Amino acid sequence: MTNRERTMNILHYKEADRMPAVHFGYWNELLWEWAEQGKIPREIAERWYDGSEAERELDRMIGWDFNWYRTVGSDNGLRPGFEYKVLEVLPDGTRRVQNGDGLIERIKPGATSIPSEDDYLLKDREAFEMLYKPKMQFSPDRVNLDYYRHFNNTRPTDIPVGLHLGSVLGNIRNMTSVVGMSYLLYDEDEELFADIVDTYAEMQYKCAEAILETGAKFDFAHYWEDICFKNGPLIAPDIFEELCAKHYKKRNDLCKKYGIDIISLDCDGVTDKLLPIWFENGVNTMFPIEIGVWGDQFEPARNKYGKGMLGVGGMDKTALRVDRAAVDREIERMRRLSALGGFIPCPDHRLMPGTKFELVQYYAEKIKEIQ
């Protein structure tokens, strides 16, 4: 069996010879750490990104079968993006920059964390109409149609490949920061935030439609959202449903029309309050199910929604920083979850600094023993 067959069979409750060893990539700092330790060539740390040749090479070194996040898509963000510019350099070396989303960030030299959100351009109707709306329009050149016309003959056949559908709210949150999103939700212009979501979503729908109309075939479709945190969603579920549900449904119905019946969604944090909205509107695969840091879990969702709810993830990646006994405990937990069917273990987020190379190899070897 190929890993593509194994994966599709498991997610359709059919027999598979073994579990595929699936991962979700790495923090760049970890790859540099491994390079310093002599575990991997420096070129891999330099050239790695999701789905890259460097990744396939690293997969072979570790024993992974594939990265779930190996998806393909379109240029479905702001087009053109805002000019990246340094606005200010503070005395401690911190740079205030405007990024491609129009978000003003503080980037501190040496800090390994993501940048800190400082300000944003998308503050009102005028900014939306003048600055953002023109960048949110569909045009055919957002999609590499030639690539997709030949996709079925050129795509890897040994691993599943997903169509990236973009995001309904996460990208907009990236443009505004959580604070800006919150203020826009309660703006005096009550229609403004909905207009932003609708405009952006329509463009992303048309991108997906253009790809699928070429006849390109995909094993699954995938969203990125990251709209939850430790204590649940970053937005009230009823507001999220009102703003976003129709867009998930429209995009997911399109996927189903083209034969894609596995639709996963990447959301960090505790997702249980948004799950019903996603599930009822066609998203059926939880990913990456962050149990280690946030306590998100697959089994309660399976119990609640039944066999229609699938999962990829759920393995506490922090065990890969500890020892074999900790990994063994996770393997046993994954064995129990895998027995539910429709579930593929995967580290519950990108592997972080401090992760031990040999333990990852050990995990990748042992997880394949699950049948």
Strands, DSSP E only, in the chain? Answer: 22-23, 66-67, 71-72, 85-89, 95-98, 103-107, 116-120, 162-166, 220-224, 228-229, 232-233, 263-266, 285-287, 310-315, 343-347
Which segment (46-54, 125-133, 229-237, 278-286) binds another protein by CB under 8 A? 229-237
Bridging pattern class, strands 310-315 and 162-166? unpaired
Q: Is residue 181 part of the contact set for another protein (CB under 8 A)?
A: yes
How many angstroms separate the Cα of 318 from the Cα of each of 178, 286, 313? 27, 19, 13
Q: Total residues contacting another protein (rule CB under 8 A)?
A: 32
Minimal distance in Å, beta carbon 49 to another protein?
21
Pick from 86, 87, 90, 111: which binds another protein (CB under 8 A)? 111
Pick from 166, 233, 311, 314: which binds another protein (CB under 8 A)? 233
* One-letter-per-residue 3-state SS of 262-328: CEEEECCCCCCCCHHHHHHCCCCEEECCCCCCCCCCCHHHHHHHHHHCEEEEEECHHHHHCCHHHHH
Minimal distance in Å, beta carbon 7 to another protein?
29
Show the tokens assigned to 98: 């405007």
Which segment (56-64, 69-77, 175-183, 328-336) binds another protein by CB under 8 A? 175-183
Within 238-257, the residues that bind another protein by CB under 8 A are 239
Sketch the per residue contact string, 257 through 296, with another protein: x for CB under 8 A, - otherwise.
----------------x-------------------xx--
Q: Is residue 32 part of the contact set for another protein (CB under 8 A)?
A: no
Q: Is residue 232 part of the contact set for another protein (CB under 8 A)?
A: yes
Pick from 18, 56, 79, 108: which binds another protein (CB under 8 A)? 108
Separation CA 51–CA 322 (nearest Å)? 27
Nearer to another protein, 264 or 318 (CB): 318
Of 237, 222, 234, 228, nearest in space to 282 by CA? 222
Minimal distance in Å, beta carbon 58 to another protein?
21
Pick from 236, 280, 300, 369: which binds another protein (CB under 8 A)? 236
Separation CA 102–CA 110 (nearest Å)? 24
Cα 250 from chain centroid? 20
Q: Is residue 230 part of the contact set for another protein (CB under 8 A)?
A: yes
Q: Is residue 231 part of the contact set for another protein (CB under 8 A)?
A: yes
Separation CA 215–CA 121 (nearest Å)? 39
Minimal distance in Å, beta carbon 57 to another protein?
26
Instruction: Quickly tell me which residue has 């006849």 as its tokens.
Output: 215
Instruction: Quickly tell me which residue has 């795509």 as its tokens.
Output: 155
Which segment (14-22, 110-118, 249-257, 330-338) binds another protein by CB under 8 A? 110-118
Nearer to another protein, 67 or 355 (CB): 355
Separation CA 110–CA 93 (nearest Å)? 10
State the residues that interact with another protein by CB under 8 A. 106, 108, 111-117, 178-179, 181-183, 185-186, 229-236, 239, 273, 293-294, 318, 352-354
